[in-house]
Amino acid sequence: MSDEIEKFRKQHEDSYQMAILDNIRNNTDVLVNQDIMSLLKKPPLDSMDLLRTKFLDLAKKNHVIIDIDKLGDLLVQYRNYLLKICEEVQKIRIGELTSVIKKQTLIKDTDVYKFNKKDFVTINKKIKKIFKDYLLEGCNSILLKKVDGIFSDSIDDSIKNTIINDFTKYLKGNYQKQLLENFDIKILVKDTTLINSVKEQGERYMFTLSHSRLLNDLE
């Protein structure tokens, strides 16, 4: 009978671990496909609207007419490039958080799987670096490299350079700073949510382990 009890206890532990791994995947899926996407995709296109508005303001300030359609196309190219971030973030976060759980061993009946805040530090550094690298590369190789195409050939080079220089300062200054801050906040919220949900799963696991007649051979 004890062998059967041990078998059921092992099944209970396996189900518990599987539930946590599912939680990691679901939590990361929401982070990537809702939170991070909300910074990049259309709609609401928040970050792209900032760029569009900034460029139009600079053009108006310098009394220059630009090709709105070409500006829109440029922002679409930039957005599509940044969306590649999502796949990398998802792969790294799921893989490394899964590894944290699988390295833990439940020896005593009081042991549960858990996340600590420090478990997220290295992972988040990697993710933030990827996001920052994509932002920098996207700004340089798409926005700044191709921005000439939205101006008419008749525009004075000095005025064009003034607009591009001001736009560059905004891109590599307030724009990136704000986007990175929003990125950090969204990750922090999901990290905290995951820590708490895993804690709750541990409490349910312990409750079942303590109160199940089958698992404790109370007969």
Q: What is the pLDDT of residue 13?
A: 87
Torsion of CA 22, 26, 28, 30, to 10 degrees: 180
Q: What is the pLDDT of residue 165?
A: 94
Say how far apart CA 197 and CA 192 lie, in whole Å: 9
Q: What is the pLDDT of residue 104?
A: 94
In the block, residue with structure tokens 């041990």: 6
Q: Mean pLDDT in runs of 10 for the chain (219 residues)?
A: 72 91 97 89 58 89 90 90 91 96 88 92 94 92 90 87 93 90 94 96 86 55
Cβ atoms of residues 42 and 72 within 8 Å: no
CB neighbours of residue 168 within 10 Å? 15
Give residue 217's region: left, alpha or beta (phi > 0; psi -120 to 50).
Answer: left
Say how far apart CA 202 and CA 197 lie, in whole Å: 9
Q: Taking each helix axis as running N to C, give the angle between helix 2-30 and helix 84-102, from 0 to 180 degrees, rounded to the nearest 10.
A: 160
In the block, residue with structure tokens 């833990």: 104
Q: Which two tokens stand for residue 142?
A: 């798409």
Q: Which two tokens stand for residue 187?
A: 């990750």
Q: What is the pLDDT of residue 217?
A: 52
Q: Which two tokens stand for residue 157?
A: 């080079």
Our separate counts of H helices and E strands in the chain read 10, 0
